[in-house]
């Protein structure tokens, strides 16, 4: 059987993810071996590292064979990626194997639960980069994102990240469990997945059965608005990108679905 070669994009992060979703859907539907070609890859953000974790999990889950070629990043990142896709069995990698940390990034995860230590990891690592106020805001938001992911997705594994990208601080939670539209379908009737994601942003609408409020939206939105931040939510056949500095919300359909939910936030790093 001929290997299916996938050329990865120049930047692997929370930006354009069409190629990534195409790869995930090929892994899910095509009985083939895959070669991940990193020739064009110039940068992988902390968000991108978590996305690679999701790809690795999906490949193992569907019992696909995979290889990597043309890695030309830092030595530590090259080694991490090789280890991420160089497994010899169909057992999922441990969270320790999938964790990564360097000067500007930290990637972590948990199995069947939250990891209450992750906000502390952020504090310890970035206390000289972020102000006390921003550390507190990030803690509040990441806790809400982790709790919401656990409540709606019922995934086996959850991935968290934080890092520096240019002059922004990026952080988020990704899972490959039940999507937000799939969860909201149990309570609401909307036209399509884009409408379901927009519905999830309404105050008082949530994926939680007991505690309403979705992602803790009122408080979280106020923080992101104050910090002129951005929030990206990708789930099933749609994505929402909310730019608080511009008071703009973009909702689009995806070319290929994401069987899970990725919530990715960023705020400008305070100067001085």
CATH 3.30.565.10 domain extents, the chain: 109-271
pLDDT 10s digits, 147-170: 888 887 888 899 999 999 999 999
For 238, the 3-state DSSP assignment is: strand
| Extended beta strands in 39-152, E state | 43-44, 66-69, 100-101, 105-111
Task: Express as a percent the part of the chain with pLDDT over 90.
Answer: 71
Task: Express as a percent the part of the chain with pLDDT over 70.
Answer: 92
Q: Which CATH number fits domain 109-271: 3.40.630.10, 3.40.50.2300, 3.30.565.10, 3.40.50.150?
A: 3.30.565.10
CATH 3.30.750.24 domain extents, the chain: 1-94
Per-residue model confidence (pLDDT) at position 14: 93
> Strands 105-111 and 157-165: what pairing?
antiparallel
Report residue 271's pLDDT band, with 50, 70 and 90 as the boundaries. low
Query: 1-94: which CATH topology?
Result: Transcription Regulator spoIIAA (3.30.750)
Sheet with 105-111, side-by-side order of all strands: 100-101, 105-111, 157-165, 168-175, 248-268, 230-243
pLDDT 10s digits, 178-220: 999 999 999 999 999 999 999 988 877 655 544 444 446 678 8
> Strands 157-165 and 168-175: what pairing?
antiparallel
Per-residue model confidence (pLDDT) at position 211: 47
Read off the tokens for 14.
Answer: 């929370």
Q: Is the pLDDT of residue 83 over 80?
A: yes
Read off the tokens for 239.
Answer: 């994505």
Sheet with 4-7, side-by-side order of all strands: 4-7, 34-37, 66-69
**Residue keyed to tokens 């409020």:** 213
């Amino acid at each position: 059987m001929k290997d299916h070669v996938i050329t990865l994009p120049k930047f692997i992060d929370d930006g354009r993810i069409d190629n990534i979703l195409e790869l995930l859907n090929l892994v899910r539907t095509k009985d083939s071996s895959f070669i991940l070609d990193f020739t064009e890859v110039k940068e992988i953000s902390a968000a991108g590292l978590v996305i690679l974790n999701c790809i690795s999990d999906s490949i193992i889950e569907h019992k696909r064979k995979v290889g990597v070629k043309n890695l030309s990043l830092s030595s530590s990142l090259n080694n991490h990626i090789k280890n991420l896709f160089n497994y010899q069995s169909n057992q999922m990698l441990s969270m320790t194997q999938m964790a990564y940390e360097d000067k500007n990034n930290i990637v972590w995860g948990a199995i069947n639960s939250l990891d209450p230590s992750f906000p502390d990891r952020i504090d310890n690592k970035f206390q000289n980069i972020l102000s006390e106020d921003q550390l507190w805001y990030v803690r509040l938001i990441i806790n809400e994102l982790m709790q919401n992911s656990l409540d709606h997705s019922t995934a086996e594994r959850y991935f968290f990240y934080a890092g520096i990208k240019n002059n922004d601080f990026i952080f988020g939670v990704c899972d490959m469990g039940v999507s937000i539209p799939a969860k909201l379908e149990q309570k609401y009737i909307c036209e399509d997945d884009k409408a379901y994601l927009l519905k999830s942003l309404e105050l008082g609408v949530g994926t939680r059965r007991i505690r309403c409020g979705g992602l803790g939206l009122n408080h979280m939105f106020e923080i992101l608005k104050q910090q002129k931040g951005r929030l990206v939510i990708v789930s099933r056949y749609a994505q929402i990108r909310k730019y608080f500095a511009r008071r703009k919300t973009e909702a689009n359909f995806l070319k290929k679905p994401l069987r899970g939910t990725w919530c990715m936030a960023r705020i400008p790093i305070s100067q001085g």
